[in-house]
Amino acid sequence: MSSNVKAQVAVSRQYEKENRTLAVWRRLRSNPGAVVGLIILAAMVLMMIYSFLFISYQDIYTINSKNRFAPPSSQHLFGTDESGRDLAKRIAYGSRYSLAVAFGAVAIGVIVGTFFGAIAGYFGGWVDNLIMRISDIMSSIPSTLLGMVIVTILGPNLLNLLIAVGVTNIAGFIRMARASVLTTKNNEYVEAARAIGMSEFRIIFTQVLPNSLSPLIVTATARMATSILAAAGLSFLGFGIAAPRPEWGALISGSRNFITYAPHLCTFPGLFIMLLAFACALLGDGLRDALDPKLKK
Amino acid sequence: MLRYCAIRIAMLIPILLCVSFIIFWLIDLAPGEITDTMITDEMTEEDIQALRAKYDLDKPLIVRYGKYIWNLLHGDLGRSQISNLSVWEQYKIRFPYTLRLSIYSLILGVALAIPAGIFAAKHAGTIWDNLTTAFAMLGLSMPSFWLGLMLLIYFSSKIKMFPAAYDGTWKSYVLPVVANGFSMMASITRQTRSSILDVSRQDFLRTARAKGVPERRVTYKHELGNAWIPIITQIGMMLGITLGGSAVIEAVYSWPGVGNLLVEAINRRDTIMACGCVILTATMYTIILLIVDLVYAAIDPRIRSAYTRGKKRKVEA
Amino acid sequence: MSNKAIETAGSQQAVITNNEDIVLEVQDLVVHYVLKKSVVEAVNGVSFKLKKKRAIGLVGETGAGKTTTALAIMNLVPDPPGVIKNGKITVCGKDMLSMKPHQLEKIRGKDISMIFQEPVSCLNPFLTVGEQISEVIRLHRGADKKSAAQEALEMLKLVRISSPEKRMNQYPHELSGGMCQRVMIAMALASRPSLLIADEPTTALDVTVQAQILELIKDLKNKLGTAILLISHDMGVIAEMAQRVLVIYAGKAMEYADVRSIFKKPRHPYTVDLLKCVQRTEQLFRRQINLNKAVLDPVNVPLGCRFHFRCPDVKDICILEEPPIIDFDGGKVRCWKYAEELKGERA
């Protein structure tokens, strides 16, 4: 009897999920903003792959003092920098840092934040209290400050930058996951699962969480945009990835001394940061509308 | 209501204590010590240890933290370990600059954002709405330091209209305020638009129209009257965020604010100074957020009544 | 319960003679919702009359066009996407559809009022009950704050709300559904309108509260002389209140008769179906009509009678041609069954 119910529950949820995913994808496709965002994001990823395959260390680090500060031309798409290096290639190479942060920092926030948020929401009581207090403390420190401090401790490299920005994302996800869990945990299928005898942990991760997917996706994409900007800002200040690595924020920082006669060194990296963040934001908005159509019109 | 406020404020203290400990500990963890730059070749091991002892570096963390908190509770934030200037004095001098920058940017942002948001909401679904929303999203995606630099390039280098750094005149405020205010404007526009749209979908507007309330009054008293509450809270939050994250804009414009102070302190491993700055900034941030929360609770009758009338009671028909 | 209501309601049946008595007249109302890719024909040729001190019930399932009809009467159909394509609506002799907005604003809340289905969400959550009722009074009678508040309190007493003085300063979320509905009624009747439109006023309430609210509306109708247009999908509610009944299906009127005739001798197959549900679901907690068959798609409208998909008595002609309106003693019906009978009789 119980296995039959289990099977039925599993089948019906599978069917529901498939249909729903298709419907969401269709809605997403018809949203022009989301499509643009997706295209830009795809282009960035392609650029990164291209840079892995075709842009070597030499291309971006060799100093060529004869060709310094060249403005954009057919030879150098975005011009050259103070050491004669081709800016376009450097930007393409630097895409890996921003994309890594976009996905990595959010992943940290999602994994850690959702885990603790779900536990807090599900178990309530002192566990909930403790986790929420910790989350409150974490949100009491402005993210830029926290990021600066973490990078200072751990050292300026990509991984630590990821962790620094990731940590600032955690509190938001804790709150979101907890709210989601609180609203769904009293639903009937959870009761049913408990009646069948599923362990509490399994219930959380197989029954409750999948239904909190929509707010999670929306928060995640929004956080991608903010993480990209945060990482660029930290690198700009010198906390994070530094020269000679061509991280976009660092590129802008490096261009400060030369802005009067080589403005292109500042313009293009910033444009790319903006484009990537914009793409994530568009995608995020599109996903939000696609996942919950009754909000629109 | 007062009870709720009192509880929230009281909770502030343990939070701030934890924050200060975490920051002290984190900065302490950072590799390198203040004395690193002071060690010369002539010093012997004993000299070095004596130097370190002078800065209490030989004592365990708890002791150092304890000393710090003790002083703190007596209102003494310590002195910069490098310049020996009082942390509090430094902060006090620099804070008004940061504050002014933040507030002016916020005012600019709000002044532009609210009409834009109302406009977008009223023309929801049309091309004007799409343009405004796209523009707002662009503003959100723009790194403020990049905008700051771009403004510098065009308005300070190419066309010498505004100065590139703080020089005491009102003109030097223009560029940083615009750069900082732009992204705030973007997010407040979005919030305004969505808040108004949310309210306009509500049923009670239909009831108001069915009552014969003239359309203008429906818009201003009923629709906007309910929509402005989340907008105000958003604005409050933005104030907190901009105060906390001012370091970036201050770096671009060499602004004599607390952000810059902090960055220097961290770079020089001036633990006391860095700690002081972060703690003060974090405290301010937390207090602002708390005020925003309390204001929201006070304004929104749904929350307010739950606290003023004791328990939330629902009476049967 | 239903039987008793039918008996008493039927006995109040009056003959329509005097035009001055007619509060509301709807003629051939057609309302479409124009969407991006399709047009929804929400209301397609509905006509009826309503006299003073009478109540008419509009019955039909969800999506049948009842609420749209009601909104059209107040000219409150949301303009994109709704369009009133045709029809004439007269309230106390005034043509509603040709009026300008500021004229309409004077009439709404004063000569016609409307109450809605979900009372709690229909009230402004940021204003107190007292403020919302006073608003109507001040708008239409120019009273000042103090006297408006006085009157509002009187209205609350009239709708028999508990502790009326306390309610004046409370917010909608602090009140239960039943109380909110009473507040809505108070707001609606504050200016003694000639017509009250009640759109599913009790659907969102508990059954016990339902009965009280209906009783209240009936009482006030008699006391204040207001005509009532009651919309519901629940035949039981209609039986309680109405003297005439208009059965709507897919935006078209299917049967229009006295409540007695509807219940004792329902003519249209759809009416029969609706009544079966009432008998089937006498349990206290299931008043919603729950027909298993699909609801007609209002976008792709078939050629013949709209009801032919679900009709147990369907004939060929039902699929090919839309039935005409056939008068019978005491009402009208739109069904081929009765046309044939007549033809048969004549032949």
Alpha-carbon distances, residue A184 vs A24, A207, A208 (angstroms): 21, 9, 6
Most confident range, picked from A103-112, A190-199, B114-123: A103-112
pLDDT, tens only, B239-279:
888 888 888 888 888 888 888 888 888 777 777 777 778 87
Between chain B and chain C, the number of residue pairs with CB atoms below 8 A apart is 96
Q: For C108, which of B210, B301, B312 is closest by C-beta distance?
A: B210
Burial of residue C208, with CB atoms counted within 10 A of its CB: 0-12 exposed, 13-18 middle, 19 or more buried: exposed
d(CA B227, CA B222): 9
Burial of residue C113, with CB atoms counted within 10 A of its CB: 0-12 exposed, 13-18 middle, 19 or more buried: buried
Residues of B in contact with C205 (CB under 8 A): 317
Q: Which of B106, B178, B168 is nearest to B142 (CA)?
A: B178
d(CA C328, CA C338): 9
pLDDT of A19 above 80: no
What three-state secondary structure class fits C14? Answer: coil
Residues of B in contact with A259 (CB under 8 A): 149, 152-153, 157
C178 and B212 in contact by Cβ < 8 A?
no
Residue C93, phi-psi category: left (phi > 0), alpha (psi -120 to 50), beta (remainder):
left
Q: What is the dihedral of CA B180, B183, B187, B188, to 10 degrees?
A: 40
pLDDT of A127 above 50: yes
Instruction: Please report the pLDDT score of residue C9 as a whole number.
Output: 43
B125 and A252 in contact by Cβ < 8 A?
no
| Residues making up chain C, counted from first to last | 347
What is the least distance, in Å, from the CA of B110 to any CA of chain A?
21
Residue B67 and residue B142 in contact, taking contact as beta carbons nearer than 8 Å: no
B134 or B79, higher pLDDT = B134
pLDDT band at B310 (very low <50, low <70, confident <90, very high): very low
Preferred mutation among C108, C138, C174, C182 to probe B, highest tally of B CBs within 10 A: C174
What is the least distance, in Å, from the CA of A201 to any CA of chain B?
30
Q: For residue B43, give every residue at least 6 positions away whose Cβ sits within 8 Å of its Cβ, in sequence order, or none.
A: B51
d(CA A254, CA B53): 39
Q: What is the mean pLDDT of residues B117-137?
A: 87
What three-state secondary structure class fits C347? Answer: coil
d(CA B191, CA B125): 16
Alpha-carbon distances, residue C320 vs C293, C302, C308 (angstroms): 21, 9, 10
B251 and A236 in contact by Cβ < 8 A?
yes
Interface check A229 vs B, CB under 8 A? yes
Which chain C residues in 170-209 lie under 8 Å from chain B, judged by CB atoms? 170-171, 173-179, 181-182, 184, 187-188, 205, 209
C124 and B215 in contact by Cβ < 8 A?
no
Interface check A36 vs B, CB under 8 A? no
What three-state secondary structure class fits C101? Answer: helix
What is the least distance, in Å, from the CA of C107 to any CA of chain B?
7
Residue C162 and residue C170 in contact, taking contact as beta carbons nearer than 8 Å: no
Residues of B in contact with A285 (CB under 8 A): 137
Q: What is the dihedral of CA C133, C139, C140, C143, to 10 degrees?
A: 80
Residues of B with CB under 8 A from a CB of C: 202-204, 206-215, 222, 225-226, 300-302, 305, 309, 312-317
Full 3-state SS string of chain A: CHHHHHHHHHHHHHHHHHHHHHHHHHHHHCCHHHHHHHHHHHHHHHHHHHHHHHCCHHHHHCCCHHHCCCCCCCCCCCCECCCCCEHHHHHHHHHHHHHHHHHHHHHHHHHHHHHHHHHHHHHCHHHHHHHHHHHHHHHHCCHHHHHHHHHHHHCCCHHHHHHHHHHHHHHHHHHHHHHHHHHHCCCHHHHHHHHHCCCHHHHHHHHHHHHHHHHHHHHHHHHHHHHHHHHHHHHHHCCCCCCCCCCHHHHHHHHHHHCCCCCHHHHHHHHHHHHHHHHHHHHHHHHHHHHCHHHCC
Amino acid at A178: R
**Which parts of chain C have pLDDT scores under 50?**
1-17, 281-294, 344-347
Residues of A in contact with B29 (CB under 8 A): 153
| Number of other residues whose CB lies within 10 A of the CB of residue A206 | 13
Between chain A and chain B, the number of residue pairs with CB atoms below 8 A apart is 138
pLDDT of A269 above 80: yes
| Number of other residues whose CB lies within 10 A of the CB of residue C249 | 27
- Structure tokens, B310: 């004791």
A144 and B282 in contact by Cβ < 8 A?
no
- Structure tokens, A38: 């997706």
Instruction: Please report the pLDDT score of residue C290 as a whole number.
Output: 38
Interface check B275 vs A, CB under 8 A? no
Q: For residue C167, give every residue at least 6 positions away whose Cβ sits within 8 Å of its Cβ, in sequence order, or none.
A: C129, C130, C156, C161, C175, C179, C183
pLDDT, tens only, B279-306:
788 888 888 888 888 888 777 777 766 6
Instruction: Please report the pLDDT score of residue A294 as a whole number.
Output: 53
Q: For A278, which of B125, B137, B146 is closest by C-beta distance?
A: B137
DSSP label at residue C265: S
Element (H, E) at C272: helix C269-280
Name the residue of chain B whose CA is nearest to C138's CA.
Answer: B213
Which chain B residues in 197-256 lie under 8 Å from chain A, judged by CB atoms? 240-241, 243-245, 247-248, 251-252
Tell me what the pLDDT averaged over chain A comes to. Answer: 81
Q: For B149, which of A259, A278, A282 is closest by C-beta distance?
A: A259
DSSP label at residue C108: B
Residues of B in contact with C140 (CB under 8 A): 212
Name the residue of chain A whose CA is nearest to B264's CA.
Answer: A237
Q: For A137, which of B15, B29, B142 is closest by C-beta distance?
A: B15
pLDDT of A275 above 90: yes
Residues of B in contact with A140 (CB under 8 A): 15-16, 19, 282, 285-286, 289
pLDDT, tens only, A53-72:
887 776 667 776 666 777 77
Q: For B248, which of A133, A236, A255 is closest by C-beta distance?
A: A236
Which chain A residues in 244-273 lie under 8 Å from chain B, judged by CB atoms? 249, 252, 255-256, 259-260, 263, 266-267, 269-270, 273
Instruction: Please report the pLDDT score of residue B173 as a whole number.
Output: 85
Q: For residue A8, give every residue at least 6 positions away whose Cβ sits within 8 Å of its Cβ, in sequence order, or none.
A: none
C124 and B226 in contact by Cβ < 8 A?
yes
Preferred mutation among B149, B199, B253 to probe A, highest tally of A CBs within 10 A: B149
A232 and B263 in contact by Cβ < 8 A?
no
Q: For A233, which of B23, B138, B143 is closest by C-beta distance?
A: B143
Whether residue A244 is preceded by a cis peptide bond, meaning omega within 30 degrees of 0, is yes
Instruction: Please report the pLDDT score of residue C6 as a whole number.
Output: 43
Half-sphere exposure (CA, 13 Å, Cβ side) for C265? 11
Alpha-carbon distances, residue A222 vs A31, A166, A169, B96 (angstroms): 17, 13, 11, 32
Interface check B149 vs A, CB under 8 A? yes
The pair phi, psi for residue C116, each rounded to 5°, is -115, 180
d(CA B317, CA C178): 5
Full 3-state SS string of chain B: CHHHHHHHHHHHHHHHHHHHHHHHHHHHHCCCCHHHHHCCCCCCHHHHHHHHHHCCCCCCHHHHHHHHHHHHHCCCCCECCCCCCEHHHHHHHHHHHHHHHHHHHHHHHHHHHHHHHHHHHHCCCCHHHHHHHHHHHHHHHCCHHHHHHHHHHHHHHHCCCCCCCCCCCCHHHHHHHHHHHHHHHHHHHHHHHHHHHHHHCCHHHHHHHHCCCCHHHHHHHHHHHHHHHHHHHHHHHHHHHHHHCCHHHHHHHCCCCHHHHHHHHHHCCCHHHHHHHHHHHHHHHHHHHHHHHHHHHHHCHHHHHHHHCCCCCCECC
Mean pLDDT check: name the lowest of A135-144, B49-58, C136-145, C209-218: B49-58
d(CA B154, CA A43): 30
Name the residue of chain A whose CA is nearest to B261's CA.
Answer: A145
Instruction: Please report the pLDDT score of residue B272 as a whole number.
Output: 74
d(CA C238, CA C258): 11
A52 or A69, higher pLDDT = A52
Element (H, E) at C252: strand C252-258
| Number of other residues whose CB lies within 10 A of the CB of residue B119 | 15
Residue C226 and residue C195 in contact, taking contact as beta carbons nearer than 8 Å: yes
Residue A198, phi-psi category: left (phi > 0), alpha (psi -120 to 50), beta (remainder):
beta
pLDDT, tens only, C103-157:
888 888 888 999 998 888 888 888 889 989 999 888 888 878 888 888 899 888 8
B213 and C162 in contact by Cβ < 8 A?
no
Residues of B in contact with A149 (CB under 8 A): 23, 26-27, 30, 266, 278
| Residues making up chain B, counted from first to last | 317
Interface check C106 vs B, CB under 8 A? yes
Interface check A275 vs B, CB under 8 A? yes
d(CA C176, CA C179): 5
Residues of A in contact with B278 (CB under 8 A): 141, 145, 149
Interface check C102 vs B, CB under 8 A? yes
Residues of B in contact with A255 (CB under 8 A): 149
Question: How wide is the angle at C-alpha A93 spanned by C-alphas A89 and A97, nearest 5°?
Answer: 150
Residue B120 and residue B129 in contact, taking contact as beta carbons nearer than 8 Å: yes
| Number of other residues whose CB lies within 10 A of the CB of residue B83 | 11
